[in-house]
Amino acid sequence: MSTANKKGRPKCQKKRRKILEACASLLLKNGIALTSMDKIAENSGVSKQTVYSHFKNKEELCKATAEHMCSNIQPRSGYIRDESLSPRQVLRSLATFYLNFFQNPDVLSFSKTIIADPQVAKFSADIFYGEIYCRMIDQLEECLANQSCFLLSETQARKFAVAFFNLIKGDFYLRGLMDISFELSDKQRTSHIDTVIDIIIASMGEYSK
């Protein structure tokens, strides 16, 4: 009996993951109003009864889906501690990492859905903000506070992390949210990153070496 239970668990988790992925796809495409439990069951290849065996209602499923989506797009830390790097080198590495993240199509799709659909925002906005945005700023703060080339207190590190995070998004992220077609050239990327770094380094003044 013990062996049977162990074999059954992966199948349940596999079905659950299929349900979450089907729900995510439908939410991004149609919004919550046009995403029915019947359609989720159909797209995930399971019965409606199976969907309800994992989630008691649509609201619970959508909340779990938001958590699943955040888990999938959540970036690993862009911070690799290296005491041989200068402040400018550290910031360049971080800037490149986060600029790539903000141009990720999955990030833009999820962000647009939250903004466009109040019902989706109701259960996913706080999750997205906490699990993605706040965690990324926490990572930046950790880097600025611990890297020896920055002479910052925790409070100062937090302030610079928030400023750096918002500056690096630039207007590129907003263009993506508004579906304004544009292509960021390598030259534009480099120029934007250099400008942000110059602003942050100048603001740090004596707090960097």
Residue 155 in tokens: 């409070």
SS3 of 23-50: the string is: HHHHHHHHCCCCCCHHHHHHHHCCCHHH
> How many domains is the chain built from?
2
Query: What is the pLDDT averaged over residues 6-28?
Result: 80
- Residue 77: its pLDDT value, please? 61
- Residue 201: its pLDDT value, please? 93
Q: At 2, is the pLDDT very low, low, confident or very high (cuts 50, 70, 90)?
A: very low
Residue 79 in tokens: 């911070």
pLDDT digits (tens, 9 = 90+) for 141-199: 988 898 888 889 999 999 999 999 999 988 888 888 888 877 788 999 999 999 999 99
Based on the fold, state whether residues 155 and 186 are members of the same structural domain. yes
Would the pLDDT of 56 be above 50?
yes
Domain final position from 71, 93, 121: 71
- Residue 80: its pLDDT value, please? 64
Domain final position from 49, 71, 93: 71
Query: What is the pLDDT averaged over residues 45-68?
Result: 92
